[in-house]
């Protein structure tokens, strides 16, 4: 956790502001990589994850772009209404579950609305490294589309902005765009659930490991794939030997907390990675939306994942 000062707030588009955070004493901030996000602790007790949208080469500031979701859960409203330049806020260190694959020969980015924010940092990274990339940025209207000024010099060559005017019939033809897989290409997508589901379906034939998503909210799954907790199991904490029962109504994180054990969580929905924990034995029922297959061999997110085996041994 670290304290930052809000150096400035700039309006980027209707309902979208960027917030620039700096160290209050002017020290360098912890480094980050393109695609990373931070937790921001907001007035009202909200903790929200926001992607960093400035260049990862910059060490003196973090910039986040935030849409004021007026009918949302209150986090972005609190940031837009209650935070002003000069305020101090608590933030986490940057974490990255949406990293760029630098070995790729080319990068295809699809961002919808405010989902473009992690891609702004990627684009700075690609510009600095000379990587081959193109960003398709789907927006409703120019008035509601952020970062137009930064993107203007890249239009045509590296950036395509597609306005649909809010009309589903005028949406970007994702099927057409993703139909032919060009070897060496990696695809990155962040945006509204409908766009991400469309990209997932249209890229089904792309090789495993080449398609990457960043979720702002847990996706709505069909009932057949429900993540509703079910089944009781036991956890053993390897370092102390303590065992605890996890009933079907509670998450591992809740059980740990109720036992008075330290347990840091943020989104409680399997999308931020704050609660990532190593396990030593047992078969995990992974319910998260961010861990890679490799990470799942040794880690789970204890806010949402459960156990297929009767006991799960955690490295705690």
Contact 41, 91 (CB under 8 A): yes
Distance, in Å, from the CA atom of 278 to the CA atom of 209, rounded to the nearest integer, reads: 22
Distance, in Å, from the CA atom of 191 to the CA atom of 217, rounded to the nearest integer, reads: 10
**Residue 274 is a binding residue for ligand FES (CB under 6 A):** yes
- Residue from 273, 285, 312, 314 touching ligand FES (CB under 6 A): that is 273
Q: Which two tokens stand for residue 261?
A: 């054990």
- Residue from 65, 115, 118, 270 touching ligand FES (CB under 6 A): that is 270
Contact 312, 235 (CB under 8 A): yes
**Residue 300 is a binding residue for ligand FES (CB under 6 A):** no
**Residue 185 is a binding residue for ligand FES (CB under 6 A):** no
Residue 21: CB minimum distance to ligand FES, A: 21
The residue whose two tokens read 């994850």 is: 49
H runs (alpha helix) in 241-286: 252-258
Please identify, among the stretches 83-91, 140-148, 187-195, 259-267, the one whose residues bind ligand FES according to the rule CB under 6 A: 259-267
Instruction: Give the DSSP H/E element, type plus range, for residue 234.
Output: strand 233-237
Considering only residues 5 to 64 of the shown chain, the ones binding ligand FES according to CB under 6 A are none
**Residue 146 is a binding residue for ligand FES (CB under 6 A):** no
**DSSP notation for 299-311:** EEETTT-EESSSE
**Residue 254 is a binding residue for ligand FES (CB under 6 A):** no
Q: Which two tokens stand for residue 80?
A: 């837009």
- Residue from 87, 232, 268, 295 touching ligand FES (CB under 6 A): that is 268
Please identify, among the stretches 20-28, 201-209, 270-278, 279-287, the one whose residues bind ligand FES according to the rule CB under 6 A: 270-278
Contact 39, 91 (CB under 8 A): yes
The residue (of 20 and 288) whose beta carbon lies closer to ligand FES is: 288
Residues that bind ligand FES (CB under 6 A): 265-268, 270-275, 301, 303
């Amino acid at each position: 956790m670290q304290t930052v000062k809000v150096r400035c707030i700039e309006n980027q588009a209707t309902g979208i502001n960027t917030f620039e955070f700096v160290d209050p004493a002017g020290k360098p901030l912890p480094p980050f990589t393109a695609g990373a996000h931070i937790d921001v602790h907001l007035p009202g007790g909200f903790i929200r994850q926001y992607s960093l949208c400035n260049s990862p080469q910059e060490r003196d500031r973090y910039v986040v772009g935030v849409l004021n979701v007026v009918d949302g859960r209150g986090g972005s409203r609190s940031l837009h209404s209650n935070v002003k330049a000069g305020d101090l806020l608590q933030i986490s260190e940057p974490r990255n579950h949406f990293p760029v694959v630098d070995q790729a020969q080319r990068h295809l980015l699809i961002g919808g609305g405010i989902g473009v924010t992690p891609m702004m940092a990627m684009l700075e990274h690609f510009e600095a490294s000379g990587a081959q990339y193109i960003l398709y940025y789907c927006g409703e209207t120019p008035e509601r589309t952020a970062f137009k000024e930064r993107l203007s010099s890249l239009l045509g060559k590296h950036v395509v902005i597609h306005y649909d005017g809010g009309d589903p019939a005028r949406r970007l033809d994702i099927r057409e765009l993703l139909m032919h897989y060009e070897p060496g290409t990696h695809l990155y997508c962040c945006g509204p659930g409908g766009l991400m589901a469309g990209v997932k379906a249209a890229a089904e034939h792309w090789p495993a490991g080449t398609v990457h998503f960043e979720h702002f909210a847990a996706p709505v799954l069909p009932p057949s794939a429900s993540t509703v907790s079910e089944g009781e199991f036991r956890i053993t904490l390897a370092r102390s030997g303590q065992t605890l029962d996890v009933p079907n109504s509670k998450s591992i994180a809740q059980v740990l907390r109720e036992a008075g054990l330290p347990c840091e969580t943020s989104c409680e929905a399997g999308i931020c990675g704050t609660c990532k924990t190593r396990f030593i034995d047992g078969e995990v029922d992974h319910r998260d939306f961010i861990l890679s297959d490799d990470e799942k061999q040794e880690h789970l997110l204890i806010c949402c994942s459960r156990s297929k085996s009767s006991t799960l041994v955690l490295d705690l």
